[in-house]
Amino acid sequence: MTERDLFRHAVATLAYRGGKAIRGAPDTFAAFDGAGKTPLEILAHIGDLLDWTLRMSRGSKDWKNSEPQGWDQESRRFFERLAELDGLLASDHALHAPIERLFQGPIADALTHVGQIAMMRRMAGSPMRGENYFIAPIEAGRLGADQAAV
């Protein structure tokens, strides 16, 4: 397994865990106010992290905060940016940032925020079902909202 293959698997893991955290959330969840930022604000920040990952991969280090859109729009953005990142990683295009830095910075941060959304689901009375992620059906290249619902 190459460095890029492992990073693609990490990106697929983010898609799987993020998909589980946002799938099936009640309509009121996006505005849940019980942990500082709302789930919608956190999901938008994850989108910003993925945008930043793409920009750094292409040679720019500029950070940009976006204004949160609706839950559905931010959910689509999450999966679209993951697919775009995976496409870049699957190609032979040179990356203009070290993979280990992309992982330790924005991708690890995004995984942390997915955990926050999962925790907030429980706090908001809409917990996710537990799962053994070691045996989860995670595959590099599988990045859309069609993640297996386990």
Residue 84's nearest CA partner among 5, 11, 24 is 11
CA distance 44 to 39: 9
Burial of 39 (0-12, 13-18, 19+ CB in 10 A): buried
Ordered structural domains, the chain, with CATH: 3-26+36-135 (1.20.120)
The pTM of this model reads: 0.94
Give the closest residue to 57 by CA, choosing from 87, 78, 77. 87
pLDDT tens string 20-72:
999 999 989 999 987 789 999 999 999 999 999 999 999 999 999 999 999 99
Half-sphere exposure of 35 (CA within 13 A, CB side): 20
Contact by Cβ (8 Å): 10, 106? no
Structure tokens at 106: 């924005």
**pLDDT tens, 64-75?**
999 999 999 999
